[in-house]
Homo-oligomer: A and B are copies of this chain.
Amino acid sequence: MEPVERVVRHFQEELEQAKTRLLEMGGLAEENVRLAVKGMVDRDQSLIDRVLHGDTPLNSLHIEIDNRCFTLLALYQPMAADLRTIVAAFKINTDLERVGDLAVNIAEAARRYASHPPVKKLIDIPRMASIAQTMLRDSLDAFVRRDMALAQHVLNEDDRLDSLKTQIFRELLTYMLQDPSTIEPALDLILISRHLERIGDHATNVAEDVIFIISARDVRHHASDASQP
């Protein structure tokens, strides 16, 4: 094998490793969101505690992936699509770390929520969580498989989260106005719905990065155009 081929092969292997670690991080972040919401719905303090004290692996992965991407840039000086992939990996890494932080924020609100009687049966918040988790998973699948159609699909899903958030807010406001004892717990549900909406925003960021990698086209700030099929 020629030296140049060897360098190319090493680069591709190391890029694959960085992608694998990103997927691992996405899986951990998604799992923490799932546990935090399940902990809230089931009023299960042990699940909530797992999220509150379980972000160390995510934080270590965040730093490791950043270092891997930095080393790839410094050692191999990649061009074109490879360079776009690494720049996108830096950004996706940041988005996933924020999703992990948001899972902790949801767990904090869930802990407070569990100290009050339930305001209502929770239906829309688990639905929001499920949409946000699917968006996150799809956006990372789209990254790994370079799947443009799937990335576009993620962009389209964002509107559903937004409508659910508005619906949750209106419904909870009615409860709060009728019965002041629901104000504190309802506030936490409102915050949780906003955290879930932001997780959807991060999945949208990842999907936009995927479109940038594949097409070298920047779809940010044109979400309405980009979401056309």
Contacts and interface: CB of A to CB of B under 8 A. Distances in A.
A63 B218 contact: yes
Contacts of A47: none
Interface residues of A, number: 29
A74 interface: yes
A66 interface: yes
Interface in A157-200: 173, 176-177, 180, 183-184, 187, 190
A117 to B, nearest CB: 16
Contacts of A80: 74
Contacts of A87: 70, 73, 90
How many copies are assembled?
A: 2
B62 A220 contact: yes
Nearest to A70: B87
A63 B217 CA distance: 11
A87 B74 CA distance: 11
Interface in A60-91: 60, 62-63, 66-67, 70, 73-74, 77, 79-80, 83-84, 87, 90-91
Given A87-B70, A220-B62, A221-B63, A173 B184 contact: yes
Contact of A83 (B66, B74, B91, B183): B74
A221 B59 contact: yes
Contacts of A63: 218, 220-221
Nearest to A198: B198
Contacts of A60: 221
A173 B188 CA distance: 12
A94 interface: yes
21 contacts: A59-B220, A59-B221, A63-B218, A63-B221, A66-B218, A70-B83, A70-B87, A73-B73, A74-B79, A74-B80, A77-B77, A90-B90, A90-B91, A91-B94, A173-B183, A176-B176, A176-B180, A177-B180, A177-B183, A183-B183, A187-B187
